[in-house]
Structure 1
Amino acid sequence: MEILETAFMQRALLAALLVGITAPAIGVYLVQRRQALLGDGIGHVAMTGVGLGFLLSTSPIWTAAVVSVLGAVTMELIRAYGRTRGDIALAMLFYGGMAGGVLLVNLSDGGSTANLSSFLFGSLSAVSDADLLAISLLAGFVVLVSVGLRRQLFAISQDEEFARVTGLPVQALNLLIAVTAAVTVSVAMRVVGLLLVSALMVVPVAAAQQVSRSFRATFALAVGIGVAVTLGGTTASYYRDLPPGATIVLLAIGVFVALTAVAAPLARRRARAADADATCATPLAGGVPAQR
């Protein structure tokens, strides 16, 4: 295939595959916790890490990962202990992170609008061998946490108080989810972009929830959708010269719409079946169950 003959597309497709796995894998917990926009906030903070990478002439992925983790921990602590002014503190953190990133990129020798745009919206040709190594290592961490600790993470996502009663380290697990989300943002920014990464964490999960009836099925289907749209969007971007991040997110939204359209009649059919079963089980006056 032509698309596999070029080295930069081989790297881009492999990076897209890793992003398609990791973003929904941690996103399923964020959606369960009603923190769907956490990835968007972390993406703003990660901009400072990108700018720092340019300023220090090092890999922006690693500096973005460090800054994102620090920002995510701060967000979680504000969420846990913040009171009436917590929303203002978060807003200052988000906008300060974005402003700091733009300033640092412009202060650096290698900074430019084009370089900044590739991190904001993704770029197929921007994934280098060093980037791919960093993405692979960080993705391995995300998969290890999201799959290896799925029972514990699901428990605190469902009911923190019950999880605390059962003896789980709730605060430590909450911080771990925040850190893992931050690492995922760093993994995905080369392919999807910092401004769109949150959509890839949320939309495949929301799409999977339309047709799945258990957490395990939702997890598996969301990851499958994530892989399909990232690989599909990357391929379409190559052949049609489209921005990869926007293409991937629009494909994910298209899958959500399609599954929603399929799920609606299925839900009505299940409801009618349930009503029919309830009617058949209703006893008559003589105490004999009604027959069909």
Structure 2
Amino acid sequence: MLETFLEFEFLRNTFYTGLLIGLIAPLLGTFIVVRRLSLIADGLSHVTLSGIAFGLFLEKKIALLAISPYYAGIGFSIIGAMIIEYLRSIYQSFQEIAIPIILSVGVGLSVIFISLADGFNTDLYAYLFGSVAAVSRHDLYFILGITLFIVAAVFFFYKELFAVSFDEEYAKVAGIHAKYVHLLFILLTALTISASIRIVGVLLVSALMTLPVASSIRVAKSFKQAIFYSIIFGEISVIAGLISGYYFEIPPGGTIVVSLAIILGITLLFKSRKS
């Protein structure tokens, strides 16, 4: 089955990209869940959607200024991440309010730009729910670069990310510049979400960052184990979701999320029986 799936180049591009996404989304998702910022993925994904809609609007209405909707989405996501961090610094006692603010603005801009771009079309549908045919070789190389950057950043700043995630006050006392670690973390999250939309889609990308973690923390005995199991569960779900999505001719985002839900159900059942 897998050999047949990989027979065509566009499917190989999608498969390899899926493996990369299955690595970085749960990797960052583990830190997100520990920091109780699970909704940040939803907030940034909606900002990314507004960027994609803006890119589609430029393609259809202002050809001279046209840029790829995918790269427009990445740009909006990074800007949204920086705005979230800025709002968190302003609302010191109510930092979580930054996420619904940016989510609301992202939804509003998405509605405006989608309307200006003459509404929903096939391209937008693929961005919303993912597609097995949307990944080009250029996209694969670009996402590979993002993956290498994210993995390197987590590797070199693991101690700082770990300390800030579990005890920010201790991290500050230990001399860690929490502000810069926060900024790095949210930028990595924005890049991860932007990279993932090709496979999972804007509306479902948060599931790939949280559901594998929800499964892993049921069976892991340490934080590093949680990261490891999250990545394993993420990769299994991506592979199963891509193959089943291709053969059933449905968007892979939905099948990936259903696969993640099945894994979560198994871990919940396994843990309850064991206890």
Fold-level similarity (TM above 0.5): yes
| Partners of 1:104 and 1:38 in 2: CA distance | 22
| Partners of 1:130 and 1:156 in 2: CA distance | 35
Paired letter, 2:225: A
Residue aligning to 2:162: 154
Deviation at 1:60, TM superposition (A): 2.5
| Partners of 1:184 and 1:173 in 2: CA distance | 16
Given candidates 141, 145, 149, the residue that maps to 1:137 is 145
Residue aligning to 2:41: 39
Paired letter, 2:42: D
Describe the SS at the equivalent of 1:190: coil
Aligned length: 266
**Structure 1 position 210 matched with structure 2 position 221:** no
Given candidates 224, 236, 239, the residue that maps to 2:247 is 239
Given candidates 47, 51, 59, the residue that maps to 2:68 is 59
Deviation at 1:81, TM superposition (A): 2.5
Describe the SS at the equivalent of 2:234: helix
Higher Rg of the two aligned structures: 1
Deviation at 1:108, TM superposition (A): 4.8
Aligned partners of 1:189 and 1:197 also within 8 Å: yes
Paired letter, 1:204: P
- Of 18-27 and 130-139, the range deviating more from structure 2: 130-139
Aligned partners of 1:12 and 1:127 also within 8 Å: yes
Paired letter, 2:21: V
Deviation at 1:76, TM superposition (A): 2.1
Deviation at 1:132, TM superposition (A): 1.8
**Structure 1 position 99 matched with structure 2 position 79:** no
Describe the SS at the equivalent of 2:151: helix
Residue aligning to 1:5: 7
Describe the SS at the equivalent of 2:46: helix
Residue aligning to 1:290: none
Deviation at 1:90, TM superposition (A): 4.2
Cα deviations across residues 48-70 of structure 1 (Å, max 9, x unaligned)?
Answer: 22123331432333222221111
Aligned partners of 2:44 and 2:102 also within 8 Å: no
Q: RMSD between aligned alpha carbons?
A: 2.0
Given candidates 83, 87, 92, the residue that maps to 1:74 is 83
For normalisation by structure 1, the TM-score amounts to 0.85
Unaligned 5+ residue runs, structure 1? 269-292
Cα deviations across residues 87-145 of structure 1 (Å, max 9, x unaligned)?
Answer: 66643422222332343345459x85221111111111111222222222222222222
Percent identity over the alignment is 33
Deviation at 1:73, TM superposition (A): 1.6
Unaligned 5+ residue runs, structure 2? 59-64
Residue aligning to 1:226: 234
Paired letter, 1:73: M
Aligned partners of 2:55 and 2:69 also within 8 Å: yes
Describe the SS at the equivalent of 1:125: coil
Given candidates 247, 259, 270, the residue that maps to 1:262 is 270
Aligned partners of 1:232 and 1:248 also within 8 Å: yes
Paired letter, 1:186: S
Aligned partners of 1:61 and 1:131 also within 8 Å: no
Aligned partners of 1:65 and 1:182 also within 8 Å: yes
Q: Structure 1 residues 93 and 260, CA, compared in 2 at 3 Å: closer, same or farther?
A: same
